[in-house]
Amino acid sequence: MHPSALHRVWRPGFPLDLRLTVGQLRRGHSDPTHHAGTDGSVWRTSRTPNGPCTLRLIDRPATGEIEASAWGPGAEWQLDALPALLGAEDDPDAFVARHTIVRDAERRFAGLRMPRTTLVVTALVPSILEQKVTTIEARRAYRLLLGKYGEAAPGPAPTGLRVVPDARTWAMIPSWDWARAGVDGRRSRTVIEAVRVAGRLEATTGVAHPEAARLLRLVPGIGIWTAAETMQRSHGDADALSVGDLHLPKTIGYALAGHAVDDAGMLELLAGYPGHRHRAALLIRMSGVKVPRRAPRYAPRGHFVGKAL
């Protein structure tokens, strides 16, 4: 028997595209913590400070309301955090589109908001797994690790939906299971270093964004890129630009200058978006700008392909 659901109806009072906003938290189509229903629903799992939770969201455009249902020990916490999750703390009105491509994307995706989960480790671990490997490798590793070390989502969740492990479980994963998931020693050590100070990392949601990013980077193995990828999700940081990304500077360069640039060039091109550089970069990526391919796509390393934990 499923535990009883808690319910909340929330009226944003601003344009909100539910799938675009919550979709920023999804780590690819195989993400076992996210499910997009054919009925327009969005399902998310989370490990809240009160325990695991399954959240189901439905947009009701006719009434301007979001209907939320939650199951599990963390249900009440998650429903209380719903406005922040759906971008209520975001400030897109302070954003001024200074390029035509950005302006057009802003109009097309007017309901895009920056989600703020306040769950730092949940956002940090998959960001670490994505360091210096292909997206395919990182997402396969995340799926395999959650399949073995996560737990089934509470409530009447879609098949396969999982809740991320707690900090202690992440720390106890043996080296051979990291290896079977295709995670090298450097990244697994970084995860372990991070979860050892999980409490301090979670507390960074209460400080200013630049200081929070600095504190994240004190963990060995966490640099500017990983901190930014985390801050975008856990802190709702619209300025957390993913400096060090393999593809992003080329995308920004071709969109705004007509040619590829490096990180320094990207920072220069986005200097006109203080406080909103991540938002500007995200809109540019969503615009569909084409970047010429000059080299074959990097193939995943074959030593773990197809292996299960």
Task: Quote the CA–CA distance of 62 and 80 in Å, as a whole number.
Answer: 24
pLDDT in the model for residue 297 = 52
pLDDT in the model for residue 308 = 45
Dig out the tokens for 238 from the structure: 């619209």
Q: Is the Cβ–Cβ distance between 175 and 188 less than 8 Å?
A: yes
Task: Quote the CA–CA distance of 96 and 98 in Å, as a whole number.
Answer: 6
Task: Quote the CA–CA distance of 62 and 226 in Å, as a whole number.
Answer: 39
Dig out the tokens for 2 from the structure: 């499923």
pLDDT in the model for residue 309 = 63
Written as one string, the DSSP assignment of 50-108 is TEEEEEEEEEETTTTEEEEEEESTTHHHHHHTHHHHTTTT--GGG----SHHHHHHHHH
Phi, psi of 102 (to 5 degrees): -75, -40
Q: Give me the tens of pLDDT residue by residue for the chain, a chain 309 residues long.
A: 466 899 999 999 999 999 999 999 999 999 999 999 999 999 999 999 999 999 999 999 999 999 999 999 999 999 999 999 999 999 999 999 999 999 999 999 999 999 999 999 999 999 999 999 999 999 999 999 999 999 999 999 999 999 999 999 999 999 999 999 999 999 999 999 999 999 999 999 999 999 999 999 999 999 999 999 999 999 999 999 999 999 999 999 999 999 999 999 999 999 999 999 999 999 999 999 989 876 455 555 543 333 446
